[in-house]
Structure 1
Amino acid sequence: MGQFRAYPYTANEATGHFKFQSVGKRGIIDKAIELTQIAPDIYNLALLDFDPVTQDYVDDSITDNGDMPEVLATVMAVILDHLSQFPRSSIVITGNSPSRTRLYKIAISKIGDDIKHQLKILGYQRSGWRIFEPNQSYESFLIARNLVD
């Protein structure tokens, strides 16, 4: 994703968790990307923060650690890693707020042309799924490999 590098992450394919650490102005924050199967070959993506109080990962916190480009690059790296291992799968991304959905749109918009041709990227609007265009607003996104049978 452009000049920003993804954080190193550890993958636990059994649980669908990809853990990494955000490093920024608020210190080091444990984060995870969770891929949950919601239908055959379709996975939902959630970006989570570790809550030290509950000792669990939650999706409703705002980290504001000043490293959003790196976090989004990490999300895209996990998506590409998953799709390379499971080429017939699709990943659905829906932000839990309009601002988080907008951040996902920004991340998807910054996918390099060298990778974009390998992917099918759709955005959901009220009228249904459409080919993703960076200047449109969407409620959710679907990313899959561009397979040629």
Structure 2
Amino acid sequence: MNYPSYVFYSNQNSTEFFFESIGSKGVINKVIAFQETSFAGIYNLALGDINPLTNEVDDTVVTDNGDTEKILATTFQIVNHYFSLFPHHQIYFSGNSPARNRLYRIAINHSFYALDSIFELFGVMNNELEPFVSTRPYQAFLIRKK
């Protein structure tokens, strides 16, 4: 996936990655956090904005900064980097709405061949995991390194 992305940095244990979204609404500090789930080896990916007043992460906000493609490309770069550090982890993610999940499905479809060459891609529907199908609406997604 060779799209422009933002420069990012991580915390010491590489569970949080930080970058700046630069767009029509200015500079917005973003974070991608990998959090262990109750399932062994599966880590939740959370993407959110850092509130400049409270320093808390909000993963429900719709930033609409006009740089969605660059944020998705940065997320891909971070996921790829994360897998280079933790190749046996699996990453689970879902949007906070059906519209956000649709956006993620479209993004996966758009770069499917590049993603499929290095990741195993799955969709989750009604708690059932299946190989990713481009036309199916999913409630969540799971990826792992090939």
TM-score of the superposed pair, with normalisation by structure 2: 0.90
The equivalences for 1:128-147 within 5 A come to 128-146=128-146
Long gaps (5+) in structure 1? none
Q: Is contact 1:73–1:107 with CA below 8 Å preserved after alignment?
A: no
Q: In the alignment, does 2:91 pair up with 1:84? A: no
Give the drift of 1:115: 4.2
Task: Choose 4-13 or 64-73, whichever is displaced more.
Answer: 4-13
Aligned to 2:117: 117
Aligned to 2:75: 75
Aligned to 1:46: 46
Provide the secondary structure at the position in 2 that maps to 1:144: strand
**Number of residues paired by the alignment?**
145
Distance in structure 1 (CA, Å) of the matches to 2:46 and 2:133: 22
Aligned to 1:20: 19
What's the Cα RMSD here?
1.7
Identity %: 34
What is the letter of the counterpart of residue 48 of structure 1?
G
Q: 1:107 to 1:114 in 2, by over 3 A?
A: closer
Q: Is contact 2:108–2:115 with CA below 8 Å preserved after alignment?
A: no
Q: 1:95 to 1:13 in 2, by over 3 A?
A: farther
What is the letter of the counterpart of residue 16 of structure 1?
T
| 1:73-118 alpha-carbon deviations (Å, 9 max, x no partner) | 1111111111122111100011111122122212222335244222
Task: Choose 60-69 or 81-90, whichever is displaced more.
Answer: 81-90
TM-score of the superposed pair, with normalisation by structure 1: 0.89
| 1:12-57 alpha-carbon deviations (Å, 9 max, x no partner) | 2526110000010111100010110113321100111011232211
Q: 1:130 to 1:71 in 2, by over 3 A?
A: same
Give the drift of 1:58: 1.1
Q: Is contact 2:95–2:101 with CA below 8 Å preserved after alignment?
A: yes
Aligned to 2:107: 107
Aligned to 2:34: 35
What is the letter of the counterpart of residue 105 of structure 1?
R
Distance in structure 1 (CA, Å) of the matches to 2:127 and 2:35: 25
